[in-house]
Structure 1
Amino acid sequence: MVLLRGKFMKRIHRMVAACMATVMAFAIAQSAIAQGVLEEIVVTAQKREQNIQDVGIAITAFTGDQMRTLGVEDSFDIARYSPGVHISGNLAGQNTQFTIRGVTQNDFNDIIEAPTAVYLDEGYIPIAQGQTFALLDIERVEILKGPQGTLFGRNATGGAVQYISRKPSLDESSGYADLTFGQFDSNADANSTKIEAAFGGPLSNRTAARVAVLYNDVDGYLNNLYPLDEFGAGTFGGPGGNSPGAGAGADMGGGETFAARASLLFEANDDVTFAVSFNVASSDVPTGPYQSKPTIAVYDGTGPDPAAGQFPGELVNVIDIDPSDARYSVCAPGGVDDGTDCGADQNVDGVPDDFVTPGIADAGRFNNMFQPAPGADFFGYIDADGEDFDTSGDFAFEDNGSTDTFGINVRVEWELANGVLLTSITDFKDYEKLLFIDVDAAPVNQAVNYAGVDATSFTQEIRLNGETDRTRWVAGFYYLNIDADSDNGLKFPPNSLGMDTNLGGPFDLGVDARLQTDSYSLFGQLEYDFSDQWTLVAGLRLIQEEKEYDFVQSFYTAPTNAREIHQGTQLIIGPINPFAIFSGGTSFPFTDDTSDSLWAGKLQLEYRPSDNLLWYFGINRGVKAGSFNAQLAGGLPVPTSAIPYKDETLLSYEGGFKWTSESGTTRVNGTAFYYDYQDYQGFLFTGVSGVVVNNDADNQGLELEIIS
């Protein structure tokens, strides 16, 4: 069993000037929390500026100052303070994604879009890697819960997370600089240095600019004791020993990141404004910070004694165990640990599989070999300090992973006649990633999972919005292009137990998938006040989505470098006619394309009995297009008919209220929702990999947010 370690850091030193600035900032922030948290928060969830309490959508929003006060540093940190919002991910936290009301991305492959859409300055981020970034000079974040399709650029069933960066000002110059130094409270004595700064202001009467930069250097905080308890091909006399390569056994959890943003604002005249921003981020990271911890099975029976008719019963749980606990499993009759050892019953037949205790039935079963020591893994390794910061891992290299992102965003606003605003948003992003994680998080040279992506995205949105005395409306066109090439697989490095001499020794079992997406949408939403207290909201989105897909499973034979992929000779093994090469046949790649017409809609009623209370109830139809699986070879056989899967449709029934006290010192917001899914895209593990399958599902919940 494994544990994902987060960053727990003890600050031990700051430069005097930075310390004084931090103390002043903290004092100001505390005052803001006391007074300003309940100040008016203006959001643009409905494509116009509104007080958050006037929007009939479940929204959590924070200003940049509030996030700094709360210690929010990375894009996903904000989930800790948002009801119904959590973080999911993979690769030991080096890939993270938002989960809203239990709706999350189930597939690990980067070519698949998440059901929660993430934006930076209304530029959609379709690749999971790009959704993890440092909150550099951010003005505000808005988290919208539930299906979003009639307003936001990309239709999404889970919700939307929108980050708005701080813009250049034509009125005044402003900026900040922050330098932080710290040390992790671990035996690795890892240091952390972070430098963040931003400055901007007017260049002329109609031109302004702003630049923000970030540098973050973190040493590995998981203290790696490798080659302690090492195990590999060399254990059995194989040539080369057990190490997967030079530099193995590095401390994990660190990384070096550089990010920058440059923004330019130009007012062509009183009616037309241009805004251009450039973003770049680059990170070098070690192998995913993944470590094992000892666990133990819990049975609901009593101590095993077949002669006396006592059996361990059923396996009911698996829990953490102290590394010094000598039991193979826990006897917990009635749910209470009675302190005795229930042995091992891995075939769950009610008879202990105990090859240690003489006279016990099933003695000598091979199943016992999967747990040669209490709390240990298959090879007998046990992390001596449990979930603390010492570990031993063979495939752990410094700076063998990297992520690089570049983006440009162009926004044009043109105020037309009769108060109509024309907005154009053009966005381009480029993503590259290659990350590694040890499959066993132990000093056993088995295999390594790798995930790589090379992708670009382009979006163009053109929309109009306006209002009359009783109506507010938005209408627009949205185009999305994604060209994503992903590389995922298992690497069996030099000296690994999985080396196959028939394949020349080390090899990679890889999946190469390319998905090209073109999506065209027309959308609109109308709000109509049919009285001073009642408002009807109606919206519609029409979508045409086209995908082209290429997918191949391969062996890459005789790779020599454990830190690189696609080395040696490529040998195609599927997915069509998989493993035919072993019987003298031929395997083939898979290609397919789809074209789908989809729609999303919204119908909602809002009631405002007073200025400080809003009630709303609505039905929202969300949709997420179908896509394709890219499963690894080595799991259960997957027929080619199961590679494509269908679109999912969500009917959301939601009602809620937003209340602010007369004094303005307290806010209470509540929501109840029921989700009815048709063809929900669920993930099913099949051996070493998994596939997405369609199944109907439902989900319901309550949310309550009190701010005082």
Structure 2
Amino acid sequence: MNRLLLGASGVALMLATAAPALAQAPVEDVTVVQDIVVTAQRREQASQDVGLALSVIGGAELDEKGVEVINDIENVVPNMEVDSQFGGGQPQFRIRGIGAREYSSNNASTVGIYVDEVAHPYTITTQGAMFDIARLEVLRGPQGTLYGRNTTGGAVNIITNAPTEELRGGVSAEYGSYDRLKVEGYISGQITPGLKGRLAIVTEQGGAWQYHRDTGEELGDKDKSAVRGRLTIEPSEDITIDLAATYQVDKSDGLGFRLKGPYPVFGGAITYPADTAWRITGWQISPELAAVSGRSLRAKPGRDNEGADLSARVRADLGWAELHSITAYQSFKRSEYNDWDGTRFNESDVYFYNNIDALSQELRLSSTGEGRLNWMVGAYYANETNDGGFYTQFRGADRTLINTPYQQKVEAVGLFTHNTFQLTDRLNLVAGLRYEKEERSLTSSGTRRINVPEGPRKTYETDLSEFSGRLGVEFDLSDRAMVYASVARGVKSGGFTTYNATSATPFRPEIVIAYEVGLKSDLFDNRLRLNGALFFYDYTDQQVQGLEYDRLAGRLGKITNVPKSEIYGGEIELVWRPIDGLTISQNFGYKKGKYTEYFAIDGAATDAANPVDGPWDKIITNDRSGEPLQFPKFNYGGSVAYDWQMLGWDWRAETNYNQRDAIYNAASSSVLPGYWLWNANFTVNPTDAQWRATLWARNLFDTYYEETRNGFNGSARPTASPSPGRTVGVRLAVDF
């Protein structure tokens, strides 16, 4: 299969270079860079008219670039990273260096995730959203005047395909390496006059690419399915009602860890050598952990998650304005077992459990677009409960089972407005304001060994009452070029460190003042699109992983606040069609940051200054001002695609790539090396036919790279979460 795909890819690329002599006629819509209508500012606009740093990726393009879960968008968007923390199912998003690194599921994300305008306040719920997608919009920078939630990093908008007037349907089946199978289908059309519907389903199975070093047992099979139904009701010309329901279930295997060095197990009876192949791993659930998680003694690391989303969106044309209402309810159950030591010994085994319910209501009133002033005012309410916690077995606790339960409640209210005033034919003024009030509480009996009686429950509280906003200008240099500048204030909620609830004192909200200038342009008769932005962030109370000391309990790993830090950088995005059918896309992101005021606790010095058994009254700190922030400084990506017609067939050859810089990994006190990733696709179908076949390769050059490293058992025993090597496959899609 590998030789077949590599041979086909080579032929495709050779044909691409010779195609001008062979082509019969240029394919439609490949002569210029097409604009895309987006809703990033809560109204329909051409993407080039939006004075924000914005990346837009179409649904077909997502498939071509191998974006299967939302984590994969880091490979197609500049200055963005998405990590599954320590190989688990909890994604963490970072844009322009702003974002968290934690594996608990109770805190707000610095990046807002929206599916058809509905916010997903907990990122664990986003793993099944990427199917039947119309497009993806990624906004960089603080967002609070346009959306129900307030974020410091940016926003990711997932827009699914809407019901259609005419009857349509389609199915695609994909088979690849390690017997991985993915099937997706939809049917859409008018049910009765004034009522349209769409039903989409997806299932993914197989793909186990790792194996147990001791038993040979395979790990990595997908077992996930989702279904989404949408109804569009038009009771009159002035009212549209969109109803949506999504159900997802994920029983997939987790990711196995790889030993980076010799690993002596607890007690020294066995020392594992460093793993020499990246497919090697190990695991073994203990009887105690199996009992509390409801799993068998043969359970593999993996998930048993289930979620449901319901939403109702109503748009009413009032004549003088439009009224939008979004009512949504989400329910999600997390059950996830991970083995972070990568051996059959229970030295870093974790079981996460959560039961999440989130109810939200958003109302917006906006102008109809007539006149010089475009205005929008809105209100948002959210009520959330998140009951959860996790069980752990760690080497440092003599492998005794430990439980950390909690119950969290969140109630938030936001009022926001966003306005654009056309001062002249070329100059627009932008002004937005937001007020948000939020209350969070967490009740916990603390972290305890399972054989110790549960202690008294304590309730911790934190609140938020903050203004944020945006001021900006947009100036049209010509009909095809615009420059913009803005200053924005973004706020992210405070919260609680739940992976160590001995003392769940809250951390404070973080605040970002963002300065940005940018350019959007279409040049050379719309054959070249060049967009760019420069930014500077003034960061207050940045939330980071750190240390605190409890007088009686001693050292605690906690999320803490850094008083002052800063980040600066920029992005460039380019799409070029130099000849008919050839499309070249490029993007580059650069960022650099440092702490400007930060006295951090020195754990080793504090331990040495206090009695071994406490109390810990003397706290020793280090001045870390000037220390660089830890994220990749740059990423570079792009794609080259050629479409042509020959002998009554349509052909497409495409390759896409992404390079990411190295990053220091604090969890293991080591550097994760930078890497290149290359993918390739070759698609063919009879001209005007309703089917197409694609050969594809992901990680074409079999690059080894790691997402995270784990130093829970000490820097001398690091483990790493590897990513799959080269995979190849074929996809057949049929529309009817």
TM-score of the superposed pair, with normalisation by structure 2: 0.69
Distance 1:647 1:97 in 2: 17
In structure 2, the CA distance between the partners of 1:412 and 1:36, relative to structure 1 (3 Å rule), is: farther
Aligned partner of residue 68 in structure 1, secondary structure: helix
Matched, 1:139 2:134: yes
In structure 2, the CA distance between the partners of 1:689 and 1:452, relative to structure 1 (3 Å rule), is: farther
Aligned partner of residue 71 in structure 2, secondary structure: helix
Superposed, 1:88-487 pairs within 5 Å as 88-133=83-128, 135-169=130-164, 171-184=165-178, 191-227=179-215, 250-294=217-261, 380-387=271-278, 389-395=279-285, 397-398=299-300, 401-418=303-320, 420-466=321-367, 467-487=369-389
What's the CA shift for 1:438?
1.5
Residues 284-317 of structure 1, C-alpha deviation per residue, up to 9 Å, x if partnerless? 123433222348xxxxxxxxxxxxxxxxxxxxxx
Superposed, 1:692-707 pairs within 5 Å as 692-695=559-562, 696-707=564-575
Distance 1:103 1:378 in 2: 43
Residues 508-536 of structure 1, C-alpha deviation per residue, up to 9 Å, x if partnerless? 21111221111101110110111111111
What's the CA shift for 1:88?
1.9
Residues 111-134 of structure 1, C-alpha deviation per residue, up to 9 Å, x if partnerless? 101110101011111112112225
Contact 2:471 2:488 in 1 (8 A): yes
Distance 1:270 1:147 in 2: 36
Higher gyration radius (CA) = 1
Distance 2:161 2:98 in 1: 30
- The equivalent position to 1:533 in structure 2, one of 407, 421, 426, is 426
- The equivalent position to 2:519 in structure 1, one of 657, 664, 672, is 657
* Number of the residue aligned with 1:66: 61
Residues 455-478 of structure 1, C-alpha deviation per residue, up to 9 Å, x if partnerless? 111110010111332111111111
What's the CA shift for 1:215?
1.1
In structure 2, the CA distance between the partners of 1:669 and 1:33, relative to structure 1 (3 Å rule), is: farther
What's the CA shift for 1:379?
5.2
* Number of the residue aligned with 1:584: none
**Which structure is richer in relative contact order (CA contacts within 8 A, separation 6 or more)?**
2
Contact 1:550 1:590 in 2 (8 A): yes
* Number of the residue aligned with 1:595: 463
Aligned partner of residue 627 in structure 1, secondary structure: coil
Distance 2:69 2:180 in 1: 15
Contact 2:284 2:300 in 1 (8 A): no
Distance 1:413 1:490 in 2: 48
Letter matched to residue 465 of structure 1? S
Matched, 1:83 2:71: no
Residues 678-707 of structure 1, C-alpha deviation per residue, up to 9 Å, x if partnerless? 111112267997311111211111111111
Distance 2:152 2:239 in 1: 34
**Alignment coverage as a number of residue pairs:** 538
What's the CA shift for 1:605?
1.1
**Structure 2 residues without counterparts, runs of 5 or longer:** 6-18, 20-24, 286-297, 549-553, 577-736
Aligned partner of residue 628 in structure 1, secondary structure: coil
Aligned partner of residue 35 in structure 1, secondary structure: coil
In structure 2, the CA distance between the partners of 1:98 and 1:217, relative to structure 1 (3 Å rule), is: same
Which structure shows the bigger proportion of residues in strand conformation? 2
Distance 2:177 2:153 in 1: 38
Distance 1:107 1:378 in 2: 32
In structure 2, the CA distance between the partners of 1:134 and 1:527, relative to structure 1 (3 Å rule), is: closer
Letter matched to residue 526 of structure 2? G
TM-score of the superposed pair, with normalisation by structure 1: 0.71
In structure 2, the CA distance between the partners of 1:702 and 1:452, relative to structure 1 (3 Å rule), is: same
In structure 2, the CA distance between the partners of 1:11 and 1:214, relative to structure 1 (3 Å rule), is: farther
In structure 2, the CA distance between the partners of 1:472 and 1:129, relative to structure 1 (3 Å rule), is: same
Aligned partner of residue 417 in structure 1, secondary structure: coil
Letter matched to residue 213 of structure 1? I
70-79 or 153-162, which deviates more: 70-79
Residues 632-677 of structure 1, C-alpha deviation per residue, up to 9 Å, x if partnerless? 27xxxx7x4x711211111001111111114111111111101111
In structure 2, the CA distance between the partners of 1:400 and 1:65, relative to structure 1 (3 Å rule), is: closer
* Identity in percent: 28
Contact 2:362 2:380 in 1 (8 A): yes
Letter matched to residue 658 of structure 1? K
Aligned partner of residue 645 in structure 1, secondary structure: coil
Letter matched to residue 283 of structure 1? D
**Structure 1 residues without counterparts, runs of 5 or longer:** 1-8, 14-26, 185-190, 228-248, 296-369, 501-505, 558-568, 573-586
Residues 428-464 of structure 1, C-alpha deviation per residue, up to 9 Å, x if partnerless? 1001111122131124342402222111111100101
In structure 2, the CA distance between the partners of 1:32 and 1:75, relative to structure 1 (3 Å rule), is: farther
What's the CA shift for 1:378?
10
Distance 1:469 1:676 in 2: 36
Distance 2:99 2:27 in 1: 33
Aligned partner of residue 130 in structure 1, secondary structure: helix
Aligned partner of residue 397 in structure 1, secondary structure: coil
What's the CA shift for 1:205?
1.7
Letter matched to residue 335 of structure 2? L
Matched, 1:629 2:497: yes
Contact 2:31 2:527 in 1 (8 A): no
Contact 1:286 1:397 in 2 (8 A): no
Letter matched to residue 221 of structure 1? W
Letter matched to residue 490 of structure 1? T
Distance 1:571 1:89 in 2: 33
